[in-house]
Amino acid sequence: MQTSSPAGRPGRPRNAAADTAILAATRQALVELGWSRLTLGDVATRAGVAKTTLYRRWSGKHELVVDAVAELFDELELPDRGSLAADTEGVVLQFAAILARPEAKSGLMAVVAESTRDDALRERIRTSIVERQKRLVLQGRTRAQARGELPPEADPEVAARTADLIFDMVAGAVVHRTLVSAEPADEEWVRGFTRVLLLGLAASA
């Protein structure tokens, strides 16, 4: 699991234990109170820290919730199931399970909606969640190349663009399925999605 790196003022002292407690308290508050009723004061009380401690680390609850949700996605791991298809199915199932958690669902939907009016918040979501999880695509591709399932890339720029596209396809499909359509991303759906992703529409038909 990667360590969250909440943004703060230059030169401030850091306390990793306090950061961990605050982010855990934020997720707990999201479960019990929901996005609209969550306040920094409640999070501070739950974490056992002064409210000023939160403001030294986060400018508001939007940024705090992004970092709290980002830690959930850091739990994602690419399983080694012996093939690219099986590995993909495994990580997509994990992703869907995280999105089904109430703290991830309410937190992510709220900050994404707010980011449509806040460029800085959109950038924080990109760097704290999206960019950190692109590692899974790179790991999967490297592993598949080692198995001989995928050829090596000749052009690094094309390889990077392809990795971005794959991430967008996976994340977009799973988020839409679970949060927008509110349908289960179960094993049957994940198997069908992976088949289309890896083989294309003609092959899957």
Range of the domain at 36: 16-61
> How many domains in the chain?
2
The average confidence (pLDDT) of the chain is: 90
pLDDT in tens, 177-190: 999 999 999 999 99
pLDDT at residue number 13: 54
**DSSP labels for 65-103?**
HHHHHHHHHTT------SSHHHHHHHHHHHHHHHHTSHH
Inside any domain, residue 4: no
pLDDT tier, 202 (very low <50, low <70, confident <90, very high otherwise): confident
Q: Are both 117 and 174 inside the same structural domain?
A: yes
pLDDT at residue number 30: 94
pLDDT at residue number 201: 81
Q: Are both 52 and 104 inside the same structural domain?
A: no
Give the percent of the chain with pLDDT over 70.
92
The structure's pTM equals 0.86
Q: Are both 54 and 94 inside the same structural domain?
A: no
- Is the pLDDT at 1 greater than 60, yes or no? no
Q: Are both 168 and 85 inside the same structural domain?
A: yes
Inside any domain, residue 5: no
pLDDT at residue number 14: 59
Task: Kindly report the CATH number assigned to the domain that includes residue 46.
Answer: 1.10.10.60
Q: Are both 51 and 144 inside the same structural domain?
A: no
pLDDT tier, 3 (very low <50, low <70, confident <90, very high otherwise): very low
pLDDT in tens, 92-108: 999 999 999 999 999 99
